[in-house]
């Protein structure tokens, strides 16, 4: 086996008969309705933006708190 191809990701589509009925209905809705795909994409973008803003704001707030706490002792 080629070691370069061993670590490649294989994306496979599962047959509708292989997945549960709840997941099958979600797949059908996302495949049928463009509005559902767009809404899901917007929801995903919103979630990613929340995670990224948390990663930016938390350290900044921590630094500001440390600077404000230190200025009381001067």
Count: domains in the chain:
1
- State which residues form the domain around 24: 16-71
3 state SS of 9:
coil
Tokens of 5: 């191809």
Report the range of poorest mean pLDDT among 11-25, 41-55, 57-71: 57-71
Domain assignment of residue 34, yes or no: yes
Residue 3 Ramachandran class (φ > 0 left, ψ -120 to 50 alpha, else beta)? alpha
Residue pair 30/36 in contact (Cβ under 8 Å)? The answer is yes
Global pTM reads 0.57
Domain assignment of residue 35, yes or no: yes
What pLDDT score does 6 carry?
65
Domain assignment of residue 26, yes or no: yes
Q: Count the Cβ atoms, other than its own, within 10 Å of residue 22.
A: 8
């Amino acid at each position: 086996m080629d070691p370069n191809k061993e670590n490649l990701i294989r994306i496979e589509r599962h047959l509708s008969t292989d997945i549960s009925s709840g997941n099958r209905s979600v797949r059908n809705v996302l495949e049928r309705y463009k509005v559902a795909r767009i809404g899901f994409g917007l929801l995903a973008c919103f979630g990613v933006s929340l995670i990224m803003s948390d990663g930016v704001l938390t350290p900044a707030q921590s630094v500001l708190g440390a600077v404000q706490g230190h200025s009381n002792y001067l």
